[in-house]
Amino acid sequence: MATINVSDTTFESEVISSEQPVMVDFWAEWCGPCKIVAPLVEELSEEYKGQVKFTKVDIDENPEMAQKYGVRGIPTLLIFNGGSPVDQLVGALPKKTIKDKLDSVLNNINGS
């Protein structure tokens, strides 16, 4: 598994302080759409290894970060760069949509 489980206490070190862009998957065990997105996020974590860090936050166990970043529906995928959220996706979206968003963020970061 290439994604890292992050808690309210490790969010700062794993996401905010990260040298590379980070995708945070806000999810919950009871969430059906989250179970659809989870394997896609795992696949993308392999495809973008070395370019993007992939993390997961269980909002039931770690409500502080979800509240701080205004997560209202799950799954919510927030993309962070330089310690700040730069983009987001909400809902069970196709892999291509998530991939296109990641590519767009990476292109902006790399100045392409």
Q: What positions carry a catalytic annotation?
A: 31, 34
Whole-angstrom Cα distance, residue 111 to residue 77? 23
22-27: strand order across its sheet: 4-5, 53-58, 22-27, 76-81, 84-90
